[in-house]
Amino acid sequence: MAESKVKKAGAKPESRLAMVRRARRINRELAELYPYAHPELDFRNPFELLVATVLSAQTTDLRVNQTTPALFAAYPTPEDMAAAAPEALEELIRPTGFFRAKSKALLGLSQALRDNFGGEVPGRIQDLVTLPGVGRKTANVVLGNAFGVPGITVDTHFGRLVRRWKWTEQEDPEKVEAEICAIFPKSEWTMLSHRVVFHGRRICHSRKPACGACPIAPLCPSYGEGETDPEKAAKLLKYEKGGQPGQRLSPPPDYPGLPAPAKSSPAGV
């Protein structure tokens, strides 16, 4: 059975250098565990990724992926969406929740893209964050995955895991982002984000982490917060690690699991 080698009774506090070395080793192990890590939102261009990321707030990527095909069929460009009737847009995105606020954001950002950026999604964070409904997290998702600009995406999974691993004690997403950026080379930022989120969704869950089925348990100072029995822990695994469909209807070719169903069904986050 795996056991953390990090936290020992009476041991002196971990040095900054030791933490950085452990963090980079965890990243290397995650890269072996999830060589296929990727954004779990379906998209074909920067505009679709921007819209899907805004819709993903307070819902699952699966729910967004089941909603966006009809949305983009109706409004394929910022110009199309900017001219949408609010009621029609709300109805299309209703399954993602908070549809009135999200509709307002989508109309606002589409109009801003049309009026201020020639109908194109800008490739700079300082421009992206001026769009309605777009903060640093959304901007980093778009930059990292549509433009190849490295960035750390601090969502609920990322924040939970980096605190469990004692890479940071910060709670504020921007402070978390700054501290994690200081640990890793810039070239690793985008893929690190995907790997950590993948691990949080599949193994290191919020309420019941599957510690006994976690390959990086020996490097984890929080080992034991979840189920440590290997057989019981294995039953907690999700998506391809648990033999279940993933979240994308159109996953990348190297994804080893099944694609998500096109119709809505109960799913984890």
Q: Which amino acid is at 63?
A: R
Around 123, how many Cα atoms within 13 Å sit in the side-chain half-sphere? 8
Spatial distance between the Cα atoms of 62 and 269, rounded to a whole number of angstroms: 8
Cβ atoms of 11 and 1 closer than 8 Å? no
> Quick one: DSSP state of residue 130?
T
The 3-state DSSP composition of the chain as helix, strand, coil percent (nearest 5) reads 50, 0, 50
**Of 114, 169, 133, 124, nearest in space to 56 by CA:** 133
Active-site amino acid positions: 137, 155
